[in-house]
Structure 1
Amino acid sequence: MTGLIAGGTYPFRALALFLRKPAFLTYLFFPLLLNVVLGIGLYLGIFAPSWQWINTELSDFNAFLAQWEGTLPPWLGFLDEVGAGLGWVFRIALSLGLFLLIGLLLAQFGTLLGAPWYGKLSEKIEQFKTQQMEIVEIGPIQEVRRAVLFELKKLLLLLVVGGTCFIVNTLPGLGSTIATIGGFSLGSTLVCLDFLDSPLERRRLKFRQKLGLIYGTLPATASFGLVSLFLVSIPLLNLITVPLCVASGTLFFCDRIWPKHFKQQTPSASAQN
């Protein structure tokens, strides 16, 4: 239970760290600039047309419902209010889904494009927290190859688990509930992979090893992932919370993963800065 509560506090611990150590903020200027440009593109390219589509579809639905209600006896007139209420429920649900999708995309592309600055920030935080910092050196070609494979494996995970949730959602009974839980679990896993990746990638871990560490640190990673997912889904505020969650991922690693799995390793493959 302690881990479940503590995991969700790390974004706020990162904020406190920035307030105590303003020098870390120097690594956030270019990532924040990238997030603003990327966020504008995502909101204009995805949210605006999707919101227009939602309004058009709901207007057509309301017109159909009004026409259908005209054939009913007067005592069923309350269905007009029921239909209007359902329309707003669908509107809110679809809007929240759009915010969640844009938040995930902003986290995915924001961390990828801002990787050089986030990586340096993560190094400084790890050195500050652990008084050492491990880097397994590899060539630039291999580093690019690992980055591409990492993104492809995340995409495969999204397609497999997301597709399964979509199929389960069509099942009667508990299908929608199971699919919703699965969807949030998938989103939490993806943001954990993104925000914990800097210290894990410095050690050149395999994708399965990264997943193993994330699932092996439950329930703390569950609350960390869900809080991070919520923060990156808040419109406009997520332009700031993505860098915050990247920093909090390194803090989480230093507190909950490094002591159990890496503290006792010999520094033969480490680079001290």
Structure 2
Amino acid sequence: MLKTIKRILGGFGTLNGATYPFKALITFIKNPRLIKYIVIPIVVNIIVAIALYSGLLFFGLQIVNDVQADLTLWLNQLVTNLPQWLGFLTYLVAGFIIIVRLLIIVVLLIATGFLLTQFGVLLGAPWYGQLSEQLEKTLTGKVELIELNIAGDLARAILYELKKLVLIALVGIPLLLINFFPGVGTVVSSIGSLTLTTTIVCLDFLDSCLERRRLSFRQKLGIVFKSLPASGSFGLVCLGLISIPLLNLITIPLCVASGTLFICDRLKATVR
């Protein structure tokens, strides 16, 4: 039994995938020359973060406050109409409201971190590409690169973003509709949305290494699915790291680097 659990967690890569951001941190410590490749992306992230957090997060918290006020009023009206001996429910209502508020704030932070990643990775792509190349050269001794002209690179980048939007729409819209069914629908929608977000995050952080090989969007998606559960735990940890305000300014470049480590390890395993 113990060997089976160890195989599931270790051999199948569940825990291994989650360790790559920390492996990337160790790599930066051992190779400080790589730090210069993340300076400009961090500056880009700061600019994008100021715009997102001052706008989206500000209005988001306003909505959270409005939802909390409406929910408090509605629940208090329900408690008021109950018999006096059920007065203890007032404390339960207060606790429930606090939990709902915290959950909404967590979702808001995840959404803001996700958007920061989309813009940050896109705008910092040239520098992240150089970082990924240097990392792969350090790890494998060589860099696989299929050259294209500027127009070709730009076309692929635009097409890649459009295909991500199509994937989000094809999966996200049905999940949104399922959410209207209370109970099971809400659970399915929540799990599905988290899976979709993790998949997109995983694609973004693996892309610097995969794009040099000029793989199609379907091939990149296939690598994510074939690498499960390691890619799943990798994506979840990265999603958590990019959702922490201020810290995500640094963790986004760290996750990009960890994506290169992830792919390089899989390439080594394939060669063996």
Tell whether the structures are fold-level matches, with TM greater than 0.5.
yes
* 2:188 corresponds to which of 178, 198, 201: 178
- State the distance in 2 between where 1:66 and 1:172 align: 22
Corresponding residue number in structure 1 for 2:169: 159
Give secondary structure in 1 for the equivalent of 2:228: coil
Letter paired with 1:119: G
- Aligned residue pair count: 262
3-state SS of the aligned residue for 2:67?
helix
8 A contact 1:165–1:182 mirrored in 2: yes
Partner of residue 36 from structure 2, selected from 26, 30, 34: 26
Distance in 2 of aligned mates of 1:173 and 1:212: 32
CA apart distance, 1:176: 2.5
Equivalent position of 2:5 in the other structure? none
Q: Is the 8 A contact 1:217 1:257 kept in 2?
A: no
Could you say if the C-alpha distance between residues 258 and 161 of structure 1 is closer, same or farther in structure 2, counting changes exceeding 3 Å?
farther
User: Of the candidates 23, 36, 49, which is equivalent to residue 13 of structure 1?
Assistant: 23
For residues 126 and 146 of structure 1, the distance between their equivalents in structure 2, rounded to whole angstroms, comes to: 22
Which residue number in structure 2 is paired with residue 223 of structure 1?
233
Q: Does 1:254 align with 2:264?
A: yes
Q: CA deviation at 1:259?
A: 4.6
Please tell me the residue identity of whatever aligns with 2:98: W
1:185-200 aligned within 5 A: 185-200=195-210
Could you tell me how far apart the structure 2 residues matched to 1:71 and 1:168 are?
33
Structure 1 residues 69 and 177 mapped into 2: Cα distance closer, same or farther (>3 Å)?
closer
SS at match of 1:136: coil
Correspondence for 2:52 among 26, 42, 46: 42
Per-residue Cα deviation, 1:190-220 (whole angstroms, up to 9, x for no partner) = 1111000011111111100100111111111
1:151–1:68 CA distance, 2 compared to 1 (3 A): same
User: 1:166 and 1:60 mapped to 2: Cα distance?
Assistant: 23
State the shift of 1:66 in Å.
Answer: 2.9
Following the alignment from structure 1 to structure 2, what is the Cα–Cα distance between the partners of residues 41 and 106? 10
Aligned to 1:269: none
Q: Percent identity?
A: 48
Q: Distance in 1 between matches of 2:105 and 2:179?
A: 19
For residues 5 and 65 of structure 1, do their structure 2 counterparts lie closer, same or farther at Cα, with a shift above 3 Å needed?
closer
| Residue among 86, 92, 96 paired with 2:96 | 86
Which residue in the other structure is 1:97 paired with? 107
Unaligned residue ranges in structure 2 (runs of 5+): 1-7
1:147 aligned to 150, 153, 157, which one? 157
AA in 1 matched with 2:238: S
Aligned AA for 1:25?
I
- Greater alpha carbon shift after TM alignment, 116-125 vs 177-186: 177-186
What is the alpha-carbon distance in structure 2 between the residues aligned to residue 99 and residue 162 of structure 1? Answer: 19
Tell whether the 8 Å contact from 1:188 to 1:225 is kept in structure 2 after alignment.
yes
RMSD, aligned α-carbons: 1.6
Structure 1 residue 31: Cα displacement? 0.5
Say if 2:67 is the partner of 1:57. yes
Aligned 8 A contact 1:122 1:198 in 2? yes
Give the gaps of 5 or more residues in structure 1: 265-273
Inter-partner Cα distance in structure 2 for 1:162 and 1:83: 32
Once the two structures are superposed, what CA deviation does each residue of 1:215-250 show, in whole Å capped at 9, x if it has no partner? 111111111111111111112111110000000000
User: CA-to-partner distance for each residue in 1:107-147, whole Å, 9 max, x for gaps?
Assistant: 11111000011000000001111111111111211211110
Q: Deviations over 1:155-195 (max 9, x none)?
A: 11112212222222333443222222212211111111100
Match of 1:107 among 114, 117, 141: 117
Taking the aligned partners of 1:218 and 1:56, their CA distance within structure 2 comes to 40
